[in-house]
Amino acid sequence: MVSSDCTASHHDGVTLVTVQLRDIDVPTRVHIENRLDGPLWPPRREGIPEPGWTDAGFAGVVGPGDETLGYATPAEPDGQPAELVDAERVPDAGPVGELTADAASVVRQLGDPSPPADAVPSGGTEPTVPPADGPPTVPDDPALEPASGTAVGRAERPDQPDAAGDTARDATADDTFQRPPAVGPWLDEMARRVGHAEALGAVETLPAATEAVRDAGGLAAVRDLSAAADERKLRALSRRTRRLADRRAEATVPVETLAALA
Amino acid sequence: MILTVTGGKGGVGKSTVAYNLAAQLDGVVVDGDLAMADLPASHGPDLHDVLAGRAAPAEAVRTDGPVAVVPCGRTLAGARAADPTELADTLRTLDRTHRWVVVDSPAGLRADVGLPLAAADATVVVTTPETAAIADALRVRELARELDAGLCRVVLNRTDSGTATGGVADRFGAPVVTVPDSDALATAQRNGQPVCRTAPESTAVDAFETLAAGVYSCSSV
pLDDT, residue A110, reads: 84
pLDDT in tens, B86-122: 999 999 999 999 999 999 999 888 888 999 999 999 9
**Closest residue on chain B to A131 (Cα):** B81
pLDDT, residue A208, reads: 84
Q: Do residues B154 and B178 make contact, with C-beta atoms less than 8 angstroms apart? A: no
Question: Looking at this predicted complex, what is its ipTM?
Answer: 0.77
B109 vs A159, more confident: B109
Interface contact flag, B111 A158, Cβ < 8 Å: no
Q: Do residues A63 and A93 make contact, with C-beta atoms less than 8 angstroms apart? A: no
**Contact residues, chain B to chain A, C-beta under 8 Å:** 34-35, 41, 43-46, 48-49, 52-55, 59, 73-88, 106, 109-115, 118-119, 143, 146-149
Closest CB to B111: pick one of A107, A133, A157. A107
Residue of A99, A114, A144 to mutate, interface with B, max B Cβ within 10 Å: A114
Which residues of A fall within a CB distance of 8 Å from B76? 115, 119-121
Q: How far apart are CA B118 and CA B146, in angstroms?
A: 9
Q: Which domains does chain B have, with CATH numbers?
A: 2-219 (3.40.50.300)
A152 falls in which pLDDT band (50, 70, 90)?
very low
pLDDT, residue A98, reads: 61
Nearest to A21 by CA among A77, A70, A94, A90: A70
Three-state secondary structure call for residue B174: coil
Q: How far apart are CA A56 and CA A42, in angstroms?
A: 10
Residue of B47, B64, B75 to mutate, interface with A, max A Cβ within 10 Å: B75
H or E segment to which residue A23 belongs = strand A14-24
Which residues of A fall within a CB distance of 8 Å from B87? 103
Which residues of B fall within a CB distance of 8 Å from A120? 76-77, 80
Q: How far apart are CA B115 and CA A17, in angstroms?
A: 33
* pTM value > 0.95: no
pLDDT, residue A150, reads: 39
Residue of B34, B36, B76, B115 to mutate, interface with A, max A Cβ within 10 Å: B76
A152 vs B145, more confident: B145
Interface contact flag, B52 A136, Cβ < 8 Å: yes
Which residues of A fall within a CB distance of 8 Å from B84? 103, 107, 112-114, 132
Residue type, A116: P
pLDDT, residue B220, reads: 66
Alpha carbon B117 to its chain centroid, in Å, reads 11
Q: How far apart are CA B185 and CA A33, in angstroms?
A: 60
Write out the DSSP string of A88-148.
EE-TT---TT---SSHHHHHHHH---SPPGGGSPPSTTPPP---TTSPP---SSGGG-GGG
pLDDT in tens, A98-151: 667 788 888 888 888 888 778 777 654 444 444 444 444 444 444 444 444 333
Q: What average pLDDT does the segment B10-15 reach?
A: 92
Nearest to B75 by CA among A116, A149, A156: A156
A153 falls in which pLDDT band (50, 70, 90)?
very low
Interface contact flag, A107 B115, Cβ < 8 Å: yes
pLDDT in tens, B118-137: 999 999 999 999 988 999 99
Interface contact flag, B111 A132, Cβ < 8 Å: no
pLDDT in tens, B38-54: 887 778 899 999 999 99
Query: CB-side exposure of B59: number of CA atoms within 13 Å?
Result: 17
> Phi, psi (5° rounding) for residue B101?
-115, 110
